[in-house]
Amino acid sequence: MQQRFFSTKRICLIAVFIALTVVLSMVSNLRIGNYIEISFKFIPVFVMGALFGPVLSGLTSLLGDVVTVMMFTGGAPLIGLFVTEFVSGFIYGVLFYNNYEKSVSYIVRMVICVLLQFALSLFVNSYILYSAGYFSTFAVAIGIRFWASFSKIFMHAAVIIFAPYYLKVFSKLIY
């Protein structure tokens, strides 16, 4: 039986994962100054990408970030950062949608994913923040944001490497 793209069940799951993204962005958020943020908010986005695909994962990431910014920050939102959030979620879906069995290709996709997320975090987000006037030069932005982006490599890899174990159980619960 073909399931509709936006069924009631999927809309509810998207809402739950958006809420998880918002909660994790606030609870597990390590903020160093105004520019460096380390958070586990990517975990529900990764799970959405693996179970429901790139579009729903991207929407979950985007809407979770929009809600977080609107509820908990005092500054003006940067549209470019919203776009990179969508792309980040989309990457998880493209690389892992219904394909999270342990194999050599899984490890290759994990490395590709981690490197793409690193590039988005370090180069694209740093450029957006530099363009918005948060940093004096692009090199300063990269220098300040490097270690936070570098630490995300290990966090993302740890979550993705153990994903086949918890995604099998989780997929049985929701399907």
| Average pLDDT, consecutive stretches of 10 residues, N- to C-terminus, the chain (175 residues) | 68 90 84 71 92 93 91 81 96 92 89 96 94 92 89 90 85 73
- Separation of CA 39 from chain center: 10
Q: Considering the domain boundaries, does residue 115 fall inside one?
A: yes
Specify if 2 maps to a domain. no
pLDDT at site 36: 64
Across the strands, what pairs with 30? 38
Tokens standing for 95?
A: 């690389």
157 phi, psi to nearest 5 deg? -65, -40
Query: What domain range includes position 102?
Result: 8-174
Domain for residue 82, yes or no? yes
What ranges make up the beta strands (E) of the chain? 30-32, 36-38
Q: What is the pTM of this model?
A: 0.87
- Structural tokens at position 132: 């918005």
**Closest to 61 (Cα-Cα) out of 38, 96, 92, 98:** 92
Establish if 3 belongs to a structural domain. Answer: no
Write the DSSP symbol of residue 4.
P
Position 33 in a domain = yes
- Res 1: pLDDT: 41
- Residue 48 in domain: yes
| Structural domain includes residue 84 | yes
d(CA 96, CA 113): 9
CATH number at residue 17: 1.10.1760.20
For residue 62, the model assigns a pLDDT of 95
Give me the number of domains the chain comprises: 1
Q: Is 1 contained in some domain?
A: no
